[in-house]
Structure 1
Amino acid sequence: MTTDPFALFDSWFAEARSSEINDSNAMALATVDASGQPSVRMVLLKGHGPDGFVFYTNHEGRKAADLAAVPKAALLFHWKSLRRQIRVEGTVTHTTAAESDAYFATRSRDSQLGAWASDQSRPLADRATFEARYEEMQARFAGGDVPRPPHWGGYRVTPHAIEFWQDRAHRLHERRVFTRTADGWREGLLYP
């Protein structure tokens, strides 16, 4: 039994990548706004390690506003085929510009253009308006690389708690929880 939550995450994530049909890196991201109103949505994990869990998004959308107001978040990975889930709670910071640039460069050109065309989370009169903006971006960046928009980048959730939940018969689930301390991680169990 490991007492390193990141080694255990790596093991479970490797199994999920080989068994989940779609988006094994999908995770629910929960935030709250300045008034305490919660919101949750799916995002994709794009990096992880002892320093945290990384995702990328538009910095002008609702989740970015929530994270600016309250820089804390919860993540949930749910792998139904494995009957497992992992809960993460922590503080949120921006990734560096270099990290954001490096990841943006790996995205498909269409996804890069979409990042320029979208006013994420803002009202949209009709789909044709967005498609026209996308075509404008195609023309704007025709024949060249698409740079990362200044309003787009990454976030890192640095965990203070990570829970590993494994389904068991008769709802007698196994719940292992890791809590960050000044000296590292403390491991414990929770009742199902």
Structure 2
Amino acid sequence: MSTDPHALFDAWLAEATASEPNDPQAMCLSTVAPDGRPSARMVLLKGHDEGFVFYTNLESRKAGDLFATQVAALTFHWKSLRRQVRIEGAVSRVSDAEGDAYFATRGRDSQLGAWASDQSQPLDRRETFDARFEAIKARFDGGPVPRPPHWSGFRVTPDRIELWQDRAHRLHERRLFTPDGQGGWTEGLLYP
């Protein structure tokens, strides 16, 4: 058994990419507001290094929670593999260079949508957003679409990673990894 949870995650993600019918990079991002109110939503993993990276509108509810508390939890669930990964840790913004590099890989309509959307804010009717999208499309017609200043990414640097594997009769295997304080990880098991 590997004691590097990042290597195990990469192996499981590779298997999920081969077996999951839709969005194997989908993860539930759980945040908490300063008043203690929890919130969860699905986002897509866009990078994995020492942390887990995703991108969003910096004026969204999720970003507000992240700026306020600087912690988050992530859950991956791969039903076809009967596995899940739970991650908890500190949150930091990605660098502008990372944000620019990822934004440049997005499809043009997704880039335009990042400019047109006031994510998480009330919308009076769909036609309002559609009109904004068309106006942004005209604004950048024929040219590149730069990353909006209100759009970037976050990295969740884990201080807890749990790999869960389904077993018969609900006798699951739960492996918990926590930092050992010396750049490595300590592994333990949890009761199912």
User: By how many angstroms is 1:33 displaced?
Assistant: 0.5
Length-normalised TM-score, structure 1: 0.99
User: By how many angstroms is 1:13 displaced?
Assistant: 0.4
Residue 79 of structure 1 is matched in structure 2 by 78
d(CA) in 2 for partners of 1:125, 1:151: 21
- Matched position secondary structure for 1:77: strand
d(CA) in 2 for partners of 1:180, 1:134: 45
Residue 107 of structure 1 is matched in structure 2 by 106
Pairing 1:33-182 to 2, within 5 Å after superposition: 33-49=33-49, 51-182=50-181
Q: Where does structure 2 lack aligned partners over 5 or more consecutive residues?
A: none
User: By how many angstroms is 1:181 displaced?
Assistant: 2.2
Residue 9 of structure 2 is matched in structure 1 by 9
Question: What is the count of residue pairs matched by the alignment?
Answer: 191
User: By how many angstroms is 1:31 displaced?
Assistant: 0.3
Indicate yes or no: 2:28 matched with 1:28: yes
d(CA) in 2 for partners of 1:61, 1:2: 38
The AA in structure 2 aligned to 1:26 is A
Length-normalised TM-score, structure 2: 0.99
Residue 185 of structure 1 is matched in structure 2 by 185
User: By how many angstroms is 1:152 displaced?
Assistant: 0.1
d(CA) in 1 for partners of 2:179, 2:39: 25
Q: Where does structure 1 lack aligned partners over 5 or more consecutive residues?
A: none
User: By how many angstroms is 1:42 displaced?
Assistant: 0.3
Identity between Structure 1 and Structure 2 (%): 70
- Matched position secondary structure for 2:39: strand
